[in-house]
Amino acid sequence: MNSLYTIVSILAAIALISSTIASLQQQASAIIVNWREEFRVLTDEFEDAVSNATDQEPPNLDSIQQLVDDYKTNLTKIFENSGNYTGML
């Protein structure tokens, strides 16, 4: 009888762990999708702005440096809001 209780307990634990993992995967995928889209938009805008700034004659280096600083700040905000990679930049 003890072995039956052990088997039932193990099966219940496996079911509980499986449902918890499935829930965590759904939450993580939503975070990753949002993070990737924000990153893509931010990077596209940054590339366009830097391209425009370098096309000027003569290029305004202070303006380009400001774009880089703004990009870094916004990128850090995206990482902090997603809860991942805090402190990497």
Where along the chain do its domains lie?
Answer: 2-82
| Lookup result for tokens 């924000």 | 38
Axis crossing angle, helix 61-82 with helix 2-55, rounded to the nearest 10: 170
The more confident residue out of 89 and 19 is 19
What is the model's pLDDT at position 30?
62
The number of angstroms, rounded, from the C-alpha of 28 to the middle of its chain's C-alpha atoms is 9
What is the model's pLDDT at position 31?
61
pLDDT class of 70 with cuts at 50, 70, 90: very high
63 burial type by CB count under 10 A (0-12 exposed, 13-18 middle, 19+ buried): middle
What is the model's pLDDT at position 38?
86
pTM for the complete prediction? 0.56
